[in-house]
Chains A and B, each alone.
Chain A
Amino acid sequence: MSHNVVAMILAGGKGTRLGLLTKKMAKPAVSFAAKYRIIDFPLSNCANSGINTIGVLTQYEPTLLDSYVGNGEKWGYNGVHALLTSIAPRQTDEGANWYKGTADAITQNIEFLDGLNPDYVLILSGDHIYKTTYNEMIDLHVDSKADATISVIEVDPKEASRFGIMAVDSTDRITEFQEKPKKPKSNLASMGVYVFSWKVLRKYLIADKNADTSHDFGGDIIPAMLNDGLKLQAYRFKGYWRDVGTLSSLHEANMDVALARSDLNLYNDPNTKIFTEDTYSLPHYLGKEGSIVSSIANQGAVILGNVKSSVISNEVLIEEGALVDRCVVMEGSVIKKGAKLYNTIVAPYTVVEAGAEVNLNQEDIALIGGKVVC
């Protein structure tokens, strides 16, 4: 990384639409693709981009996430120039404050950033699945002398009203931002990935601090910058990117990996490898009577039953005669003899009793946890 960049990852969200998966942990800590947690993706992307300094802003259920981030060793951030630290809201001179919005999370850490004195700040979401390096985007930001650069992805025009949409001119300079518009002016959706020149952002954060706003990047900071005629550049991201904020999108993104049907290539891609925690378990074992097709499985799993189009995490046990079909089985779960599960996300450490049948009609994605006997 030739530029002086600090990344700040917004990881404080609860992710209410993920039900019991986020009951005791923040969304970025939710497991993904049998081995990872969602936050491994932006963290590994930063490592692969040569970004040396990262702050992870946690708030909802921070304990697990903070200890997972640790000293950053899992992503290589224990080196001589590297710093990865999680920063939860805290009591200060000015009192005790929660992070009131995405922008406020940065505002409350202006001193942290001032201490690092970066030229540019990269703002990322802790809950998106994509593989990239940010270098091209940062280069574009620097070369185009923009005040802010926003990563955008082309979405289906019919879906555009679900996103924050950026209208651009012929040079991809952003002319207007529309939050979930009824009549979208383009199909370029914001990915919640921003590069700001720190001095400019700092000024806007201070102005926003005591203003009556929702202290949000998309809702307040970006519109204010556009309003003042600042140069905001769109960076067109090409490739796989998913916001896994709902059960169906989380399930679908997991299936993309299991069925090897997308551009999200986790294999043989040394430049954008995703790093994560290792578990001390044996390679997974496939039994004499079981089967596994169109699936992924992590170490520590024992598969004695039948697995089809599914994601099997570490230390999962699928007993004889059980069937999991289009399921995401998270770590430590046990699917006992003869149980049958379809289109289901199985929360970590769930026990599905023998003979149980889950989601037979297979209409929606089911989510189960605890002890399941049905």
Chain B
Amino acid sequence: MAKVFGLCNLHDAPGLGKLTEKRPIGVVSFLGRYGLMDFTLSNFSNSGIDRVGILADRSMHSVISHVRDGSIWINNTKTGSQRIFFNENTPSKKFNTDINNLLANRLHFEDEDVDYVVVAPAFFLMSIDFRKYIEKHIESGREISIIYKKVKNAKEAFLNCDSIKVENHLVKDFSVNIGRAKEANISLETFIFNFKTFVELLNHTREISSLFNIRDLVNYCATNKLYEVNAFSFDGYVAPILTFDDYCHYSMELLSCETRKNLFIDNWPIYTTTHNTPPALYGPNAEVKNSFVANGSNIQGTVINSVISRDVVIEEGAVVKNCILFSGTKVGKDSRLEYVVADKNVKIKEIKEVSGEESCYTYISFGANI
């Protein structure tokens, strides 16, 4: 197999409102157990990519405490490796780009003994076998490829994503999806490069713009006809987590067994960090319907259409409906929550009712006592 380096790119990511205010998108909790970047890193692992880098834009502590030494994803910890790249000397937020990060860490990156590099973001959730696309990339003889998805709901989803015009499996043009048409070829911001070309391009970028992201670079190469860029279509399920509303919407959508099967496919495990929590405990009056419940939780009340993360306590008489509760949330006796996203360690004691709407979930901040 070709020697491939996988780069999980946490830069250039959409903001999910308060959820990403203090943490990078990659570690945002999802479905009660995962961090969003687990999908990307598991895709690398399941595709046999054992040398990975994480491009962290901030909050190194939360990134490191989530990915640890990489042994969760890496198959052989001697021949494989996980490197975390962070640009310590970025002059301002504006210059904190993936390319500047790689350039700042070039001495630790350019020595990778690989032939290809796959760059993938953390906010398009999918189960994708990169091997298939790497093979096509090699066969094509070209140096850059984009993986895209042909979607039919571009009017309401994938807004502000790059949309590409494809002819004969080549990228002809880039535009931004502003929801004008139903159908669009949405760039999954997943790129394959020949490693040497990638390194050369990074160095060359400085001459063009010091604000460029990898995404801009590919766009520049294609539109200025510096390189012919392959466009490979991905047919599988993609959950785009581009906004707080998307986050809520896809959390709920994945409660359905049918949808879930598209993301969690056979023989394609999604790896994540373990927290050594006991199985969830249900009391004699527990009532639970259509919900995910993670380990360590203690459910004495009612839970309907909800995602309950690790170590959540729902006391007797409490009702939790259409909610996403992060780890350590405590819902006191007889409290009612509806359409609420409660961040980590929220304690609901005195207030008896918090509710949002289906179109507008109420967010409760990390550690709030209410």
Where the two chains meet, the residues of A that have a C-beta atom closer than 8 Å to any C-beta of B are: 33-35, 260, 266-267, 273-276, 278, 280-299, 302, 311-312
Contact = CB atoms under 8 A, between A and B. Distances in A.
Given A34-B279, A291-B287, A296-B279, A280 B272 contact: yes
A356 B367 CA distance: 48
Question: What 10 A-B pairs come out closest when comparing CB atoms?
Answer: A278-B274, A266-B278, A283-B294, A280-B269, A34-B279, A283-B32, A296-B279, A298-B279, A283-B292, A286-B288
Contact of B288 (A35, A267, A291): A291
Name which of A33, A276, A296 has the most chain B CB atoms within 10 A of its CB: A296
Interface of B: 31-33, 255, 257, 260, 264, 269-272, 274, 276, 278-296, 298, 303, 307-309
Nearest to A277: B274
A296 B280 CA distance: 5
Nearest to A307: B282
Given A33-B279, A275-B276, A287-B290, 6 more contacts: A35-B295, A276-B276, A281-B269, A282-B292, A285-B293, A291-B287
21 contacts: A35-B279, A260-B281, A260-B283, A267-B278, A280-B270, A281-B269, A282-B31, A282-B32, A283-B292, A283-B294, A283-B295, A284-B280, A285-B257, A285-B291, A287-B290, A290-B289, A293-B284, A294-B284, A297-B280, A298-B280, A299-B279
Contacts of B278: 33, 35, 266-267, 274, 296
Contacts of B255: 285
A214 to B, nearest CB: 38
Contacts of B289: 286-290
Contact of B291 (A33, A275, A286, A289): A286
Nearest to B308: A283
A18 to B, nearest CB: 21
Contact of A292 (B286, B294, B308): B286
A285 B271 contact: no
B285 A297 contact: no
A285 B295 contact: no
B283 A294 contact: yes
A278 B34 CA distance: 13
Contact of B279 (A278, A287, A290, A297): A297
B35 to A, nearest CB: 14
Main secondary structure of the interface of B (DSSP, over half): loop
B33 A282 contact: yes
B26 to A, nearest CB: 18
B241 to A, nearest CB: 17
Given A267-B298, A273-B276, A291-B287, A284 B292 contact: yes
A287 B270 CA distance: 22
Q: What's the dominant secondary structure at chain A's contact region?
A: loop
Contacts of A276: 276
Nearest to A73: B71
Contacts of B296: 267
A283 B31 contact: yes
B293 A282 contact: no
A293 B276 contact: no
Contacts of B294: 283, 299
B330 to A, nearest CB: 11
A88 B276 CA distance: 28
A256 to B, nearest CB: 12
A266 B295 CA distance: 11
Nearest to B286: A293
A356 B282 CA distance: 26
Nearest to A295: B282
B293 A286 contact: yes
Contacts of B286: 292-294
Contacts of A291: 287-288
A188 to B, nearest CB: 31
Contacts of A298: 279-280, 295
Given A275-B276, A282-B31, A292-B288, A267 B293 contact: no
Contacts of B32: 282-283
Contacts of A284: 280, 292-293
A80 to B, nearest CB: 14
Q: Which of B279, B280, B283, B308 has the most C-beta atoms of chain A within 10 angstroms of its own C-beta?
A: B279
A370 B260 CA distance: 28
Nearest to B303: A286
Contacts of B276: 273-276, 278
Contacts of B281: 260, 267, 295-296
B271 A280 contact: yes
A33 B293 CA distance: 17
Contacts of A281: 269
Residue in B260, B284, B291, B295 with the greatest tally of chain A CB atoms within 10 Å: B295
A296 B32 CA distance: 17
A274 B307 CA distance: 25
B33 A283 contact: yes
A278 B272 CA distance: 10
Nearest to A35: B279
Contacts of A312: 279
A296 B286 CA distance: 12
Nearest to A303: B288
Contacts of B271: 280
Given A283-B295, A285-B292, A288-B289, A297 B33 contact: no
A297 B293 contact: yes
A192 B269 CA distance: 41
B239 to A, nearest CB: 14
Contacts of A311: 279
B269, B285, B288, B294 — most chain A CB neighbours (10 Å): B288
Nearest to B284: A294
B282 A292 contact: yes
Contacts of B290: 286-288
B149 to A, nearest CB: 23
A33 B31 CA distance: 23
Most buried by B among A260, A288, A311: A288
A120 to B, nearest CB: 28
A312 B272 CA distance: 22
Contacts of B270: 280
Contacts of B272: 280
Contacts of A273: 276
A294 B285 CA distance: 8
